[in-house]
């Protein structure tokens, strides 16, 4: 393992979690979880090898074995964390549901403490129990299968290797379900598309568990902090924090917060260090665009640079409320190729089911062999449970071997696999996309700027991405881009057309100031004709609709242009260009030499044939009394 942080001696208490000989464990935990408003709920616990306990919302510390009486006004989740002097910690959550009316006296609900320190968690909400939350030894067959999830796939020669986890109704891994001749259970795999499905042969089922598969996990967590996260940023960040602080110190983590820029919030380190760093990290403020592909690429690169041990499982987890809209030079297929070469699966947790282009996120997961999860805004509290499932699924799982699935990929845009576990009382199924539609690999739109206010002022946070685009144009002088301005829906008519054009022109000015050649830049207004959000339910929807997009143009498709003026001043050439654009025609200017001095020529563009250009030039001469020469 390559260490990116200095190795400190175990005598330094704050950073010695990995050196403690006796890690904290939880021997007893429970309490009352349902109360009428005004009544009290009691939570009790017993931490082994802990010195003190801290509870969210309380300033005082508690004893390792203790209890607390609570009377919340509304449904509240409490976080109970045991600490010791070695810097080790173990977190446990308990939700107290508060009801307006009366209900029978609540009963105690005890957590069965059979899991390693890292994956103990409790939430009384039944939905939480659908996620894998803890591990159990392979010899313990007491759990009854409640849910099954296919969490990963990979190709090995002429075989497809599928990874599945099975859990009981408490979210505990259920072992002992391998293909061993037991006629009371059966694994079945079907693959299909377009409404048809075909069963394929299950060649083998092998169980892996912590006793035989004690692998560490290295995770790059990529957390969206774009405008898409408005209203849910704090909950998502706190959920990520809760997960990281529950990881065992033998695992590794890296946290990247991203919008159109990437911030390495926590550099790659072991989970013990990460817990300490999270103490000082604040929830980022959501703003800007979403460079999903760049974040995933950085996450993979971080893991490749840090992990040299083949026994460590590498995972990128993308936590986002929207698809990529600003990576500019990357596509989903680029990320898939990088991930497959690295041997890193990408798991996607979508936090907004209403966000457009969700299938773009499904592509990333499916093309890399990872799993796509989706939460609506009312269910984000389950984020740490999904993260926990992803982590445990690298250590406790079944591998199902089937013949390589490739025939459906040729016939269908995408192929979905259905896995079924048949037990005496029921059949448990889960779907997994094995081949995504190749049309999903390209981003639907690439934005440069969003505008929080109904104006054309560009926020400084976009400076670095605009500088990058300007440098790219300098390195590729034959490439041409078009800047397309957009407005929110309530801006209408000529005003909408004008403000959208002003936004595109403002971006052009920034690019030219950053060194871009003006003859490589075109502008256009689409007014409010192509919104991202057709219904602007939230303020962020308006912000996202107020934007400037970039397109790469092929000059050979519209080869004819009309020269309408020259100037010795670049500022004057830019003003002429903007004046023509305000008249409703497409214009740009390029640098030339006039009598051995720098000069500028203003041109109109977008004409497919010479006849079309000649007709337009004739009209311009008559209407504006200007020279108009077709090239």
Mean of per-residue pLDDT scores for the chain = 82
Q: Is the pLDDT of residue 542 over 70?
A: yes
Tell me which of 94 and 171 has the higher pLDDT. Answer: 171
Angle at 244 between CA 378 and CA 49, to 5 degrees: 120
State the Cα–Cα distance between residues 561 and 543, nearest whole angstrom. 35
Query: Looking at residue 181, what is its pLDDT?
Result: 46
What sign has the CA pseudo-torsion 401, 407, 409, 412?
Answer: negative
In this structure, are strands 89-99 and 25-31 parallel, antiparallel, or unpaired?
Answer: unpaired
Instruction: pLDDT band for 11, please (50, 70, 90 cuts).
Output: very low
Q: Is the pLDDT of residue 9 over 70?
A: no
State the Cα–Cα distance between residues 20 and 3, nearest whole angstrom. 19
- SS3 label, residue 374: strand
Query: Looking at residue 371, what is its pLDDT?
Result: 95
DSSP character for 520?
G
Query: Looking at residue 339, what is its pLDDT?
Result: 96
| Listed range (167-176, 300-309, 408-417) with the worst mean pLDDT | 408-417
Tell me which of 315 and 117 has the higher pLDDT. Answer: 315
Q: How is residue 453 written in tokens?
A: 């206010």
State the Cα–Cα distance between residues 244 and 505, nearest whole angstrom. 44
Average pLDDT over residues 346-371: 89
Chain-centroid distance, C-alpha 499: 32
Instruction: pLDDT band for 2, please (50, 70, 90 cuts).
Output: very low
Q: Is the pLDDT of residue 613 over 50?
A: yes
CB 83 within 8 A of CB 50: yes
CB neighbours of 278 closer than 8 A, spacing ≥ 6? 241, 244, 245, 266
Which range scores top for mean pLDDT: 72-81, 257-266, 363-372?
363-372
Query: Looking at residue 45, what is its pLDDT?
Result: 79
Average pLDDT over residues 102-120: 36
CB 362 within 8 A of CB 348: yes
Average pLDDT over residues 24-29: 70
Q: Is the pLDDT of residue 622 over 70?
A: yes
Domains of the chain in start order, with CATH, are 13-113 (2.60.40.2470), 147-210+399-432 (2.60.40), 217-395 (3.40.50.410), 445-552 (3.30.1330.60), 554-631 (3.30.70.1070)
Query: Looking at residue 599, what is its pLDDT?
Result: 82
First to last CA, the chain: 62
Angle between helices 383-392 and 233-244 in degrees, nearest 10: 40
Query: Looking at residue 118, what is its pLDDT?
Result: 36
Query: Looking at residue 42, what is its pLDDT?
Result: 80
Tell me which of 449 and 436 has the higher pLDDT. Answer: 449
The per-residue DSSP string of 401-452 comes to EEE---HHHHHSS-EEEEEEEEETTEEEEEEEEEE--GGGGS-S--EEEE-S
Instruction: pLDDT band for 129, please (50, 70, 90 cuts).
Output: very low
Structural element, H or E, at residue 621: helix 610-624
- Alpha-helical (H) ranges within 212-291 are 233-244, 271-278
Query: Looking at residue 6, what is its pLDDT?
Result: 26
Query: Looking at residue 552, what is its pLDDT?
Result: 85
Q: Is the pLDDT of residue 141 over 70?
A: no
In 10 A of CB 555, how many CB atoms?
12
Which range scores top for mean pLDDT: 130-134, 171-175, 235-239, 575-579?
235-239
Q: Which residues pair with 551 in a beta bridge?
A: 482
Query: Looking at residue 5, what is its pLDDT?
Result: 29
Query: Looking at residue 356, what is its pLDDT?
Result: 67
The per-residue DSSP string of 34-65 comes to EEETT--EEEEEEEET-SEEEETT-SS-B-SE
DSSP character for 17?
G
Chain-centroid distance, C-alpha 441: 15
Query: Looking at residue 513, what is its pLDDT?
Result: 94
| pLDDT tens-place string over residues 488-538 | 988 878 889 999 999 999 999 999 999 999 999 999 998 888 888 878 888
Q: Is the pLDDT of residue 473 over 70?
A: yes
- Closest C-alpha among 132, 121, 109, 133 to residue 33: 109
CB neighbours of 113 closer than 8 A, spacing ≥ 6? 25, 26, 27, 28, 29, 120
State the Cα–Cα distance between residues 238 and 387, nearest whole angstrom. 13
Q: Is the pLDDT of residue 347 over 90?
A: yes
CB neighbours of 337 closer than 8 A, spacing ≥ 6? none
Instruction: pLDDT band for 113, please (50, 70, 90 cuts).
Output: very low
Which range scores top for mean pLDDT: 125-139, 178-192, 195-209?
195-209
- SS3 label, residue 392: helix
In 10 A of CB 330, how many CB atoms?
17
Query: Looking at residue 175, what is its pLDDT?
Result: 84
Query: Looking at residue 20, what is its pLDDT?
Result: 32
Average pLDDT over residues 529-552: 88
In this structure, are strands 186-193 and 415-423 parallel, antiparallel, or unpaired?
Answer: antiparallel
Instruction: pLDDT band for 87, please (50, 70, 90 cuts).
Output: low
Q: Is the pLDDT of residue 561 over 80?
A: yes
CB 550 within 8 A of CB 482: yes
Angle between helices 292-306 and 332-342 in degrees, nearest 10: 10
% of the chain with per-residue pLDDT over 70: 84
State the Cα–Cα distance between residues 266 and 271, nearest whole angstrom. 10
Instruction: pLDDT band for 116, please (50, 70, 90 cuts).
Output: very low
Query: Looking at residue 27, what is its pLDDT?
Result: 67
Q: How is residue 386 written in tokens?
A: 């999904």
Query: Looking at residue 389, what is its pLDDT?
Result: 95
Tell me which of 416 and 107 has the higher pLDDT. Answer: 416
Q: Is the pLDDT of residue 114 over 60?
A: no
Angle at 442 between CA 440 and CA 444, to 5 degrees: 90
Structural element, H or E, at residue 488: none
CB neighbours of 5 closer than 8 A, spacing ≥ 6? 267, 269, 273
Calculate the CA dihedral of residues 348, 350, 354, 359 and round it to 10 degrees: 0
Tell me which of 371 and 95 has the higher pLDDT. Answer: 371
For the chain, the helix, strand and coil percentages under 3-state DSSP, each to the nearest 5: 30, 35, 40
State the Cα–Cα distance between residues 385 and 375, nearest whole angstrom. 12
Q: Is the pLDDT of residue 214 over 80?
A: no
Average pLDDT over residues 600-612: 87
Average pLDDT over residues 165-176: 87
Tell me which of 196 and 282 has the higher pLDDT. Answer: 282
């Amino acid at each position: 393992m390559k260490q990116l942080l200095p190795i400190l001696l175990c005598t330094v208490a704050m950073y010695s979690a990995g050196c403690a000989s006796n890690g904290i464990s939880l021997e007893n935990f429970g309490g009352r979880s349902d109360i009428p408003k005004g009544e009290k709920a009691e939570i009790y616990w017993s931490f082994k090898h802990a010195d003190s306990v801290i509870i969210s919302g309380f300033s005082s510390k508690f004893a390792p074995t203790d209890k607390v009486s609570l009377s919340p006004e509304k449904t509240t989740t409490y976080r109970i964390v045991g600490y010791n002097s070695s810097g080790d910690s173990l977190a446990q959550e308990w939700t107290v549901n508060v009801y307006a009316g009366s209900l029978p006296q609540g009963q105690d609900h005890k957590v069965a403490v059979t899991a390693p320190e890292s994956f103990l968690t409790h939430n009384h909400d039944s939905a939480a129990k659908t996620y894998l939350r803890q591990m159990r030894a392979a010899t313990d067959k007491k759990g009854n299968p409640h849910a099954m999830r296919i969490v990963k796939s990979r190709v090995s020669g002429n075989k497809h290797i599928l990874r599945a986890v099975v859990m009981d109704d408490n979210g505990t891994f259920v072992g002992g379900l391998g293909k061993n001749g037991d006629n009371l259970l059966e694994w079945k795999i079907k693959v299909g598309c377009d409404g048809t499905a075909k069963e394929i042969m299950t060649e083998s089922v092998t169980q892996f568990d912590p006793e035989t598969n004690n692998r560490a996990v290295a995770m790059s967590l990529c957390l969206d902090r774009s405008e898409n996260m408005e209203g849910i940023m704090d909950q998502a960040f706190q959920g990520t924090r809760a997960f990281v602080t529950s990881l065992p110190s033998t695992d590794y983590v890296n946290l990247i917060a991203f919008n159109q820029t990437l911030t390495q919030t926590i550099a790659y380190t072991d989970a013990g260090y990460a817990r300490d760093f999270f103490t000082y990290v604040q929830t980022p403020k959501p703003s800007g665009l979403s460079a999903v592909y760049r974040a995933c690429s950085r996450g993979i690169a971080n893991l490749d640079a840090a992990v040299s041990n083949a026994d460590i499982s590498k995972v990128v987890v993308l936590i986002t409320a929207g698809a990529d809209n600003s990576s500019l030079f990357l596509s989903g297929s680029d990320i898939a190729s990088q991930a497959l070469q690295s041997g890193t699966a990408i798991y996607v947790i979508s936090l907004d089911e209403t966000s457009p282009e969700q299938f773009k996120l499904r592509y990333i997961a499916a093309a890399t062999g990872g799993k796509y999860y989706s939460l609506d805004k009312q269910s984000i509290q389950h984020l740490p449970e999904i993260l926990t499932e992803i982590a445990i699924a690298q250590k406790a799982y079944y591998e199902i071997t089937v013949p390589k699935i490739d025939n459906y990929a040729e016939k269908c845009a995408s192929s979905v696999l259905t896995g079924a576990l048949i037990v005496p009382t029921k059949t448990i199924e889960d779907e997994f996309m094995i081949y995504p539609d190749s049309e999903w690999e390209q981003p639907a739109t690439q934005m440069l700027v969003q505008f929080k206010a109904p104006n054309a002022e560009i926020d400084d946070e976009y400076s670095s991405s605009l500088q990058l685009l300007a440098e790219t144009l300098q390195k590729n002088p034959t490439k041409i881009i078009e800047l397309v301005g957009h407005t929110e829906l309530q801006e209408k008519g000529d005003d909408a057309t004008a403000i959208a054009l002003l936004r595109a022109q403002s971006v052009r000015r920034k690019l030219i100031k950053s060194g871009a050649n003006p003859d490589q830049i075109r502008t256009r207004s689409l007014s409010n004709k192509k919104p991202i959000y057709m219904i602007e339910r939230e303020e962020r929807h308006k912000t996202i609709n107020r934007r400037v997009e970039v397109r790469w143009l092929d000059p050979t498709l519209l080869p004819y242009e009309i020269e309408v003026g020259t100037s010795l001043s670049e500022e004057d050439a830019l003003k002429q260009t903007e004046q023509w654009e305000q008249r409703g025609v497409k214009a740009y200017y390029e640098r030339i030499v006039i009598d051995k001095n720098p000069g500028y020529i203003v041109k109109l563009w977008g004409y497919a044939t010479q006849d079309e250009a000649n007709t337009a030039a004739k009209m311009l001469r008559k209407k504006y009394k200007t020279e108009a020469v077709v090239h």
